[in-house]
Structure 1
Amino acid sequence: MDEQHPAPRSKPARRRFHTDVVTDIVGYRLRRAQIHVFQQFIARFAAHDLRPADYSALALIDANPGSKQIEIAKALGIKRANFVALINGLEGRGLVERRLPANDRRSQALYLTPHGLEQIAVFNKVQADFETYCVDRLGGPAARDQLMDLLGRLLDAE
């Protein structure tokens, strides 16, 4: 080739990008799966402006009306200060109310409001549809049960 038209440079060979150094780690896979599941959850609940922790708190309050804030927070693994902020948000939306129990003036019992009871029925339907999606992705109820058992083993190790 002449000086005005040099020969084209060849691209260097692309080296293989190795991901198995992390993708074979249980914790890494769990975290990536959690991120994906949370993204799917957020997309499905976007119209309701509901996050996974919001739904979980509402579901537990619905199943355990009158429970103390600390009981729900502990079940969710949420620090007290963070849980108070979460409940403040749900209370501000008219979904949850705090009441003083007759036998313990130091704590607050949590209840769904009438609006909260209406909304949890809607949220439960969205969650049921999402659970069906997840179970289908796993390969059916037997695979779901196996995954839940395996995850339980990791939790029981504490």
Structure 2
Amino acid sequence: MAARRGKIGLQHGTLDSLLGYHLRRAQVAAFADFARTMSSIDLTPGQFGVLVLIAANAGLSQSALGTALGLDRSTVVGVIDRLERRGLVVRAPAPNDRRSYALKLTDKGEGVRQEMAQRVRGHERRIARRLSGAERERLIELLKLVAG
């Protein structure tokens, strides 16, 4: 197969056959659209994911959150600290383990999550606009396989 030329006429060489290269390009495009979509809210895709997981799992521990997102403890603590400073999340000692914190969205956090969820629907439509519904579903399944 002949190497494809990019928009500015460059040969991509072996990059065109590398999964990681295409994953990164897709991520850059998706994150750029997400940033434009959420500019007035000023939260990252990762922070949105944290709000969604906390909302869906009442009393979620920081440890379980880190495991679900594949993040280390210090990263989770930093994310929760930032969300807590903005008044979106509260931590309370877990009722069954005082060494652990149970996470909960504040009313403000739930409102922000709902606003972001509404905007994410448009974002998802835009980033998948070249895919049929079946292709989108298949891509998600394939990405789950790659992610393990």
TM-score, normalised by the number of residues in structure 1: 0.83
CA distance in 1 between counterparts of 2:23 and 2:69 reads 18
- 1:77 is displaced (CA, Å) by 1.3
> Which structure is richer in relative contact order (CA contacts within 8 A, separation 6 or more)?
2
Query: Does residue 141 of the first structure (1) align with residue 133 of the second (2)?
Result: yes
Query: Does residue 155 of the first structure (1) align with residue 141 of the second (2)?
Result: no
- 1:25 is displaced (CA, Å) by 0.7
2:120 paired residue number: 127
Structure 1 gap segments, 5+ residues each = 1-15
1:50 paired residue number: 43
Tell me the percent identity: 35
CA shift digits 1:31-63 (9 cap, x unpaired): 111111111111111110010111010010011
Distance 1:140 1:17, change over 3 A: closer
CA distance in 1 between counterparts of 2:142 and 2:74 reads 31
2:18 paired residue number: 25
RMSD: 1.3
2:90 paired residue number: 97
CA shift digits 1:70-115 (9 cap, x unpaired): 1111111111101111110000000000011221100001000011
Larger radius of gyration: 1
Question: How many positions carry a matched residue from both structures?
Answer: 140
CA distance in 1 between counterparts of 2:109 and 2:141 reads 32
2:5 paired residue number: none
Structure 2 gap segments, 5+ residues each = 1-8
Structure holding more strand per residue: 2
Aligned AA (2:134): A
- 1:67 is displaced (CA, Å) by 0.5
